[in-house]
Structure 1
């Protein structure tokens, strides 16, 4: 069966004070690998990989990647089924538009969608767009069964994890599929269908850019139940780890095949079991691999002591982040965040001593926050600055679909599932919070903005006071295009977006001059040069 998988364009916010960037679509690459191994003919249209420099204004934000028209023109007319992914709900308006355009052009071809957004909001998605099937949760086994049924034209009613339209246009939601336990048996992501070079060249990577990058997933799921997190709905609360040897094998393969030397782990909770971390570090060190790896997502602090931190550094780990979220124990309790300051600082001191780049994440304006909670967060930020970590990220709270806190806010009448709600995450790092985007009643948006800058100032004033040379290092690395910390990543990303906006204005047509690449199949790569429009 000829299956065309599509990685849609995404929104980016030119006003966002953040180092976050879109990156290679790990989930879609896993789906490509299992469908390829089942004998399907796979083609991929990657909107970001084909047009990593194309920014088109859409109101007060920008679309990054191919337009729906350009995507349609790249689809093989012989396609027999489509597969689309959507990681974040904030991109749903773009994805919805794309699905409509695909169905208008290929009305008889089934459209299958999966990913975090569709798992969190299946009813909304299938009601607003002409989707034929949704895959909920972990997608590999469900995708295999569903595309086999489509190929053989058999019933899908018995396939767990599928949502679909019945002949009378009603919605059928099958029971969820059990999680995959034997995660070592899942084939590695099929990166041969994607332009790995384009993502690295344009620094569209997760975490800090240390060189040519391929993302890694060593574990799946998270055993915790933070109220603001989508993981319990997407992955349940089961955590399964691949064997350290197999993860090291995958890294070594990409190092040899692509020349990759930077491996950000996309795991929700990579560091959970101490022995797993020790064994993995030993695997990398024994092989003598000259690579860098990092943990850009929030890392658990319980297993990081001086011995583990030293092992991380020796094996090539350069950067990790902790996620206290708040300086207030009361707020953390409301969040169900299982973390204490004692555990946090034991890990911080060990990581700093070993020479790791360390960051911390804060979520401000959580619905239960009060003045004392804000003061506690400022105090913790200052203390972390004195402790020697490198960066903090302070963003405003936003509710994600199908999370515990969102359900609570919805019951209180504070949430309406419209596009403005779904797009909230794209504005979380804006310079100023607005009243229509806050969920913390004791404060005004102006007051919350003030507290955000107090947290950031408390950290960096202490950090620069105790390590004044950092100011010159940051300035020097900015001038030379280097990244060794999150603040440097933020500065490089800000410069990149500034250049792309200027190109857009110079063209006068709302988009940039770009190099476009056609969809990728195995053993088939070529390039065309365009100004954002495909030639006949």
Structure 2
């Protein structure tokens, strides 16, 4: 069968609050496509070009006359995905539209929209493969586990879930192409910098997370079991990426990379023993960070860690059920930064219990944290999370287009939306212009001068003059040390 998988996550310029142009491969679609391709189907993954609107892109898809169109939208581009599906189906009456991912897993009733024929619930590879097999043989797909669909009478049917894939290494490598891989890059403070990234790839070491954070929908997608790959197979995939695509930056997609210290050390040992020279980054909790772990990760090629800080005051940490303290957050970030690893901190504001006074006081503690790259987002109740269920009727918008995390969704007492946005602006730039950030930057560049250009590209985009002056001085001093 002819299958077109559509990646609507086009290059994301983001904003100054998200930092940098980022374009990552659609790893979920690539895995689904790889399994279908292994089964003998004609599979292509397409993305709209920057100059294409949905109508033009839908015509390009329609000309290929696909039997199946697969889309895995997030919440914020779900409406866009439905519109695209309608446009394609209006041209190709026989095309079956299959949606998957976090959003339709959380809200299977979305399948009532005529733009969606089938919605996959949870992990997609085996379910998608079975649907395709049934369609190819002309058999009704209604008995396939792990789907929701709408009967002609309007009744929504939600079938029991498929079992999770227990052996992830039995999956083929994701369906990648050299042409696409050369376009994937990460903007912000990365080593290597975006201008020197030949190809950025995503690699899965584990799937799932046991934690039950009330703002996260992962348990709805994966359950709470964590399934790991063999570290040797992971290393082999990285070697394949380097040899085939010239990849020089890897993102491990694990929801909590440092969940199991032994697993991390096992992977690092394999990467070191095989002498794999590639930079990589990952997402960690601030809990469980120690010198042994950081040293092994750095030796194995880790150049950047994303930390889920989320909140820095005790009241908010308690409300979102994070068993950590400001002091423990600070300690983990400081250890990581001082060993020469770039730190990114994810901070949420706009919690429904926050006040003007709270937001105006955030910088006092925030500025002390050893964060190199600050990602500020607004607290967003994504479908499938516990907080989403509690927030129905309490947010300012139920339009999925606004669920970007870059827009405030809750009304805060005594604050207008424009005032909340202005406070976010002050917090963000106040952090980067603070004397503590400037002092940390100077110290880091003295100890790790190879990171100079990583900060330079980011700061030039950010446009904070005082930081540009620091980088100019740092470069001159580094040149003097080298020649002196």
TM-score category, normalised to shorter length: 0.7 to 0.9
2:253 is equivalent to residue 266 of structure 1: yes
The residue aligned with 1:417 is: 398
2:90 is equivalent to residue 104 of structure 1: yes
Displacement of 1:184: 2.2
Q: Structure 1 residues 373-382 or 217-226, which shifts more?
A: 373-382
1:12 and 1:391, CA in 2 relative to 1: closer, same or farther beyond 3 A?
Answer: closer
The residue aligned with 1:463 is: 436
* CA distance in 2: counterparts of 1:106 and 1:317, whole angstroms: 47
Displacement of 1:105: 0.5
- Cα shift readout 1:385-425 (whole Å, capped 9, x = no counterpart): xxx44232222222222321121110x5446633xx44231
Displacement of 1:83: 1.5
* CA distance in 2: counterparts of 1:401 and 1:231, whole angstroms: 10
Equivalent position to 1:229, from 216, 219, 230: 216
Number of residue pairs matched by the alignment? 455
Contact 2:189–2:454 (CA<8 Å) still a contact in 1?
A: no
The residue aligned with 1:391 is: 373
Contact 1:327–1:376 (CA<8 Å) still a contact in 2?
A: no
1:66 and 1:447, CA in 2 relative to 1: closer, same or farther beyond 3 A?
Answer: closer
* CA distance in 2: counterparts of 1:321 and 1:460, whole angstroms: 21
> How high is the TM-score relative to the length of structure 2?
0.84
**3-state DSSP of counterpart to 1:222:** coil
Contact 2:23–2:184 (CA<8 Å) still a contact in 1?
A: no
Equivalent position to 1:302, from 267, 270, 287: 287
Q: Mind listing any 5+ residue stretches in structure 1 that lack a counterpart?
A: 56-64, 495-536
Following superposition of structure 1 onto structure 2, how do residues 156-195 of structure 1 map, counting pairs within 5 Å? 156-192=141-177, 195=180
* CA distance in 2: counterparts of 1:230 and 1:147, whole angstroms: 27
Q: Which has the higher contact order (CA 8 A, sep 6+)?
A: 1
Equivalent position to 2:140, from 155, 164, 169: 155
The residue aligned with 2:5 is: 5
**3-state DSSP of counterpart to 1:233:** helix
The residue aligned with 2:271 is: 284
> How high is the TM-score relative to the length of structure 1?
0.76
**3-state DSSP of counterpart to 1:90:** coil
Q: Which runs of 4+ in 1 moved over 6 A?
A: 204-208, 470-473
**3-state DSSP of counterpart to 1:358:** strand
Displacement of 1:117: 2.4
1:108 and 1:376, CA in 2 relative to 1: closer, same or farther beyond 3 A?
Answer: same
- Cα shift readout 1:234-281 (whole Å, capped 9, x = no counterpart): 222222221222211111110111111110122211111111111111
2:324 is equivalent to residue 324 of structure 1: no
2:383 is equivalent to residue 401 of structure 1: yes
Contact 2:306–2:344 (CA<8 Å) still a contact in 1?
A: yes
* CA distance in 1: counterparts of 2:460 and 2:122, whole angstroms: 35
**3-state DSSP of counterpart to 1:282:** helix
The residue aligned with 2:108 is: 122
Q: Structure 1 residues 187-196 or 143-152, which shifts more?
A: 187-196
Q: Structure 1 residues 252-261 or 335-344, which shifts more?
A: 335-344
Equivalent position to 1:256, from 243, 250, 263: 243
1:235 and 1:379, CA in 2 relative to 1: closer, same or farther beyond 3 A?
Answer: farther
The residue aligned with 2:424 is: 452
* CA distance in 1: counterparts of 2:346 and 2:441, whole angstroms: 22
1:442 and 1:223, CA in 2 relative to 1: closer, same or farther beyond 3 A?
Answer: farther
Contact 2:17–2:375 (CA<8 Å) still a contact in 1?
A: no
* CA distance in 2: counterparts of 1:16 and 1:493, whole angstroms: 6
Following superposition of structure 1 onto structure 2, how do residues 4-23 of structure 1 map, counting pairs within 5 Å? 4-8=4-8, 17-19=17-19, 21-23=22-24
Displacement of 1:324: 1.6
* CA distance in 1: counterparts of 2:223 and 2:37, whole angstroms: 27
- Cα shift readout 1:361-400 (whole Å, capped 9, x = no counterpart): 110111122467546743331221xxx4423222222222
* CA distance in 2: counterparts of 1:95 and 1:193, whole angstroms: 26
Equivalent position to 1:240, from 214, 227, 240: 227
**3-state DSSP of counterpart to 1:293:** strand
1:445 and 1:359, CA in 2 relative to 1: closer, same or farther beyond 3 A?
Answer: same
2:72 is equivalent to residue 93 of structure 1: no
**3-state DSSP of counterpart to 1:311:** helix
**3-state DSSP of counterpart to 2:6:** strand
* CA distance in 2: counterparts of 1:147 and 1:280, whole angstroms: 35
Q: Mind listing any 5+ residue stretches in structure 2 that lack a counterpart?
A: 464-484
Displacement of 1:285: 1.1
**3-state DSSP of counterpart to 1:383:** coil
1:8 and 1:68, CA in 2 relative to 1: closer, same or farther beyond 3 A?
Answer: farther
The residue aligned with 1:523 is: none
